[in-house]
């Protein structure tokens, strides 16, 4: 997995914002370490592998960010019925 997004000026541009159902942010410590990624595909692969664990830790949805720009989301982590 990639280095932490808080690593400094060389931090990866692609990150996930973790959210509750009401749209409020989930603390990264409660949800586990939040990764930063060098490419969109890396971020999407990670969420594909981690979504169930994040859901179990109280994350209801995620939004993909490139720097401060929202790329897409919020995207629910709950399976469709």
For residues 19 and 26, is the Cβ–Cβ distance under 8 A? yes
**Looking at residue 6, what is its pLDDT?**
42
Q: How far apart are CA 55 and CA 62, in angstroms?
A: 10
In the chain, domain spans: 38-81
Residue 5: partners with Cβ closer than 8 Å, 6 or more residues away: 11, 12, 15, 34, 35, 36
**Looking at residue 35, what is its pLDDT?**
72
The answer, as to whether pTM is greater than 0.95, is no
Instruction: Give ∠ CA 47-55-4 in degrees, rounded to 5.
Output: 45
**Looking at residue 39, what is its pLDDT?**
96
Phi, psi at 38, each rounded to 5° = -80, -15
Q: Tens digit of pLDDT for each residue in 7-60?
A: 445 666 999 999 999 999 888 766 666 779 999 999 999 999 999 999 999 999
Task: Give the chain's count of helices (H) and strands (E).
Answer: 2, 4
């Amino acid at each position: 997995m990639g280095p932490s997004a808080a690593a400094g000026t060389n931090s990866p541009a692609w990150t996930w914002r973790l959210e509750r159902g009401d749209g409020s942010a989930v603390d990264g410590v409660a949800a586990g370490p939040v990764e930063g990624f060098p490419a969109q595909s890396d971020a999407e692969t990670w969420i594909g592998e981690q979504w169930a664990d994040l859901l179990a830790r109280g994350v209801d949805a995620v939004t993909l960010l490139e720097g401060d720009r929202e790329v897409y989301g919020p995207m629910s982590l709950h399976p469709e019925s």
